[in-house]
Every structure is written in C-alpha cells, then in structure tokens.
Structure 1
Amino acid sequence: MAWIALIVAGVFEIIWATAMKQSEGFTRLWPTVVTLVAVTISFGLLLWSMRTLPLGTAYAVWTGIGAVGAFLAGILIFGEAASPSRIIAALLILAGLVIMKSATT
C-alpha cells in the first residue's frame, strides 16, 4: 500500500508543478489553488509512505516521478523541446526508479 501511496504522491507532484507553471508566479487564482491543494496531497502521501519505505527510496522515487512527469508535461502542454539528450536523461531517471524499486524489499 505504501508503494501505491508513493506513486500517487508522485502524480500529485506532477500536478502541482504543472499548475505552478500555469499560475504565472501565483498571479492566477485557480492554478494557484490547484498548486496548493496538490502539493498538500503530495506531501501527505509521501509522509504516509515513509512510515514503511526507507527515506532514500521514497524520496528518490517521489522526485523521480515528478521529474519525469514534469518533463513530459513540459513537452506535451507547454511545447518544450524534446531533444534526444533530454529524452535519454528522462529514460535514465526512469531506469533509476525501476532499479530503486527492485532493490527495496
């Protein structure tokens, strides 16, 4: 159950990062509200998952999901560049997450 909570926390990290970008420096109300709600949920689920999972694993997976998800959101929503080197970097982060998960019992 802790892994599910951690993955959902990572998804909410993507949501708050994307909404924060759309808030334009917290000058737009609804993206700001989404940011604050999503960051609260994300941190809460991370906190809950850390009751069971090791700190290093939980934090690395949480930030990794957020990093790869924000990378994809940047490309798909904001039209950011999808250069080969950026894609390789995202794949390496994803590979690290898989290794981290498989190394944790």
Structure 2
Amino acid sequence: MKNLAKFAGAVALAAGLAGCNTVSDSYVAQWSGYSVMRGTIVSVENLSGADLQRLADGIAVKVSQAGCKVTMKFENNQSSTMELGPGVVVVYGIHHDYILRSAPGVPAR
C-alpha cells in the first residue's frame, strides 16, 4: 500500500497538467490488438513509467522497466498478482482500472 500511496502522489501531480477530455473507457478502446483486463488495482510495486497520460477520469502509465508487480481484484471478487513488463499500459480510472498487454492477433473491440 505504501507504493500505491507514492503513485497516488504522481497521479495528483499529473492532475495539475493540462486538461484532457478522453475518458478511460475511450482510451482503452483505442488500443486494438491489446488484451484488456478490467478490475480494481489494489497494490503496485516498482512501477517506472515511460509515458504518463492524463485522462478526464484518471491516468494511464506505460511500464518502462521489468519488475513491476500489480495486484488486481476482478468483478468476481478474485484477485491476481501479475508481473508486468515494459510496454504494458496501466490505466487508473474512477470506475474501473485496466491493464493493457500486447496481444497480436486479438480482434479490435
């Protein structure tokens, strides 16, 4: 939880940047060819972001280094801890959080 609090500080900093009208659901829909996991992120460890993008209802971060671990709780109340590599996108939204992974051959949504 301590690491999640640090990341929340980064989110607050990003909130001070220029506004954006894109909401997280629309942002996720733009990533055709990526698998999408939706739930609630409950903990984050060692997240180094290469690209930080402010959304109207959250923030998106592209993971830049290996070793990032995220625990996500899904709608069925099960949770999973995953190690994320470079290029994976973590989206924090007001209603849902998302993890986007490259998945060649996945049809666009």
**Same fold, TM exceeding 0.5?**
no
Q: TM-score, with normalisation over the residues of structure 1?
A: 0.27
Largest Rg, 1 or 2: 1
Q: TM-score, with normalisation over the residues of structure 2?
A: 0.26
Higher strand share: 2
Higher helix share: 1
